[in-house]
């Protein structure tokens, strides 16, 4: 079946043009899925096909879909986490651990996640060829490489736009402890504008040094500047009115993006001040036992905060893990030296927080509607260097999906026995992000008008989504 035939088929099924009607009563049966798959239509980025599929997936659940990105700053070692190589010197110090799915093993560093393998999809054949931190971070957040004329939005921004903004005074996109210095625009809204920019909490939180043995995560997770400072309500309102008037006057004469972004941030802060929505950020409302299970650290409590935000209708939350005890500092997963003790320490933080997040979402009926992404900007070299470390590696690494109604308990792709080459199913950044979009019921070929006046699809049209992952 040709792409043209696929469009015509989708048009007939949707009762509309090839683009698909939003009001069409369209359903895809398993038989039809297999027919299309065998015919090759699934692998072709046809607007009508993707739109129909996205609509069908979004209708599968009544509740709004949401996404949590667990970002591993620095690039985690795939061999020491989700793609062990026990029969080769490149495998290193950690042993493989059997999971809840027979035949699938992961590293012994993640024992709690091993028990929840039925929820996970391991994509072991990521191939992006960008082994620079800045470019890799931008690529995995946007699906593109940096471009001077086009200001590409991050997946947090464009997914927020497609999934719908939060129906209360909470922001729709929140980033917790990001290291934006590596790639300042990777988390931004790009040409979508400040309306879809993230609320940032604890920026560069990974660089906060422990004080008296305790990480200063409580301060990092607080909303800034929400305390009235002892002023009466009338005084606060008078000051806000004056500031608003001055801001409006300034924006009229200086309508550039930086000014607009500052005004939008101000308006969001004001909305939080005037409502009870800020209570979502109060982790003291949670039981101490649950907070302990997540881990009393920035990443663990950030994951708990992510659950609280998703529960209240926030569309996208990104939580960065870049620090743990005994880690050299800064870019935690960038383990050029002494890889193994650092990875073990980072995995202890990750394992507790992520496994508890899965259980917590499941117990509240949210896991089916919340897609979890685990990834960094690239992986680490299979060969261990002379400093007992692993260097940058973008030729064959691992990303993970969980929840969101996807078909868990499987592995996509395969690397060689030594981990140096991909033997099956290379997956690009565009392939991966197209899969994320479809899992959330979003058409990855939807277009937005860029800052240079050119329509840009959410994901490049050559993307080949992982159809076996989708529900």
Q: Hey, what are 250's tokens?
A: 């300034």
Inter-residue contact 312 to 192 (CB < 8 Å): no
CA 30 to chain centre: 28
Burial track 230-260 (b if 16+ CB lie within 10 A, e otherwise): eeeeeeeeeeeeeeeeeeeeeeeeeeeeeeb
- Cα separation, 314 vs 256, in Å, equals 28
The SS3 call for residue 17 is coil
Closest CA to 393 of 204, 203, 127: 127
> How is 298-354 classified by DSSP, letter by letter?
HHHHHHHHHHHHHHTT--EEEEEE---TT--SSSTT--SSSHHHHHHHHHHHHHHHH
User: What length is written for the chain?
Assistant: 471
List the alpha helices (DSSP H) in 15-110. 30-39, 47-59
Residue with tokens 């719908």: 164
**Which residues make Cβ contacts (< 8 Å) with residue 238, sequence separation at least 6?**
none
pLDDT of 55 reads: 57
Q: Which pLDDT value is given to residue 461?
A: 93
Which residues fall within 8 angstroms of residue 351, CB to CB, at 6 or more apart?
A: 109, 110, 111, 112, 113
Question: Is the CB of residue 221 less than 8 Å from the CB of residue 212?
Answer: no
The pLDDT, as a whole number, for residue 12 is 33
Measured CA to CA, the distance from residue 110 to residue 351 in angstroms comes to 5
- Write down the pLDDT at residue 195: 86
SS3 of residue 399 by DSSP: strand
Whether CATH 3.30.930.10 fits 65-221+296-438 = no
3-state secondary structure of 88: coil
- Looking at residue 460, its pLDDT comes to 96
8-state DSSP, 296: S
Those residues whose C-beta lies under 8 Å from the C-beta of residue 21, and which sit 6 or more positions away, are: 14, 15
Can you read off the two tokens belonging to residue 95? 């042993």
Q: What is the pLDDT of residue 191?
A: 94
Whole-model pTM over 0.85: no
Q: What are 105's strand-pairing partners?
A: 98
Q: What is the pLDDT along the chain (471 residues), one digit of tens a residue?
A: 433 333 333 333 333 333 333 333 333 444 444 444 444 444 444 445 555 555 555 454 456 899 999 999 999 999 999 999 999 999 999 999 999 999 999 999 999 999 999 999 999 999 999 999 999 999 999 999 998 899 999 999 999 999 988 777 888 999 999 998 889 999 999 999 888 999 999 887 645 554 444 457 888 888 765 555 555 656 656 666 666 666 666 667 766 665 565 566 556 666 665 567 778 999 999 999 999 999 999 999 999 999 999 999 999 999 999 988 878 666 889 999 999 999 999 999 999 999 999 999 999 999 999 999 999 999 999 999 999 999 999 999 999 999 999 999 999 999 999 999 999 999 999 999 999 999 999 999 999 999 999 999 999 999 999 999 998
Helix (H) or strand (E) holding 247: helix 233-253
């Amino acid at each position: 079946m040709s792409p043209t035939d696929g469009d015509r088929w989708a048009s007939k099924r949707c009762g509309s043009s090839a683009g698909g009607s939003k009001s069409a009563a369209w359903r895809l049966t398993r038989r039809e899925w297999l027919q299309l798959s065998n015919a090759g239509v699934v692998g072709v980025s046809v607007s009508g096909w993707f739109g129909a599929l996205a609509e069908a997936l979004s209708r599968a659940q009544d509740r709004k879909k949401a996404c949590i990105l667990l970002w591993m700053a620095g690039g985690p070692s795939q061999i020491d986490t989700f793609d062990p190589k026990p029969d080769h010197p490149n495998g290193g110090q950690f042993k493989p651990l059997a999971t809840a799915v027979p035949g699938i093993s992961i590293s012994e560093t993640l024992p709690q996640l091993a028990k929840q393998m039925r929820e996970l999809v391991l994509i072991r054949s990521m191939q992006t060829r960008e082994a620079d931190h800045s470019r890799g971070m931008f690529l995995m957040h946007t699906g593109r490489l940096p471009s001077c004329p086009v200001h590409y939005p991050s997946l947090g921004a464009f997914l927020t736009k497609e999934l719908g903004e939060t129906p209360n005074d909470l922001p729709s996109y929140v980033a917790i402890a990001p290291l934006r210095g590596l790639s300042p625009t990777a988390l931004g809204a790009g040409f979508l504008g400040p309306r879809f920019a993230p609320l940032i909490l604890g920026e560069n939180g990974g660089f906060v040094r422990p004080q008296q043995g305790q990480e200063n995560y409580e301060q990092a997770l607080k909303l800034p500047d929400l305390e009235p400072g002892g002023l009466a309500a009338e005084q606060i309102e008078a000051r806000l009115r004056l500031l608003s008037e001055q801001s409006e006057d300034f924006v009229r004469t200086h309508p550039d993006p930086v000014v607009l972004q500052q005004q939008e941030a101000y308006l969001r802060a004001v909305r939080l001040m005037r409502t009870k929505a800020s209570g979502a950020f109060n982790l003291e409302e949670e039981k101490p036992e649950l907070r302990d299970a997540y881990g009393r650290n920035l990443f663990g409590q950030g994951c708990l905060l992510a659950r609280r935000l998703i529960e209240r209708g926030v569309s996208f939350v990104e939580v960065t893990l870049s620090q743990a005890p005994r880690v050299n500092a800064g870019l935690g997963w960038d383990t050029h030296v002494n890889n193994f003790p650092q990875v073990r320490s980072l995995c202890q933080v990750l394992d507790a927080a992520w496994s508890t997040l899965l259980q917590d979402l499941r117990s509240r009926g949210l896991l089916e509607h919340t897609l979890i992404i685990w990834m960094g900007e690239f992986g680490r070299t299979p060969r261990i260097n002379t400093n007992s470390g692993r260097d940058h590696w973008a030729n064959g690494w691992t990303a993970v999906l969980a929840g969101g109604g996807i078909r868990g308990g499987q592995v996509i792709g395969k690397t060689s026995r030594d981990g140096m080459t991909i033997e099956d199913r290379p997956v690009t950044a565009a392939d991966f992000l197209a899969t994320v979009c479809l899992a959330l019921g979003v058409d990855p070929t939807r277009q937005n008008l860029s800052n240079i006046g050119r329509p840009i699809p959410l994901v490049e049209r050559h993307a080949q989504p992982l159809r076996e992952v989708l529900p």
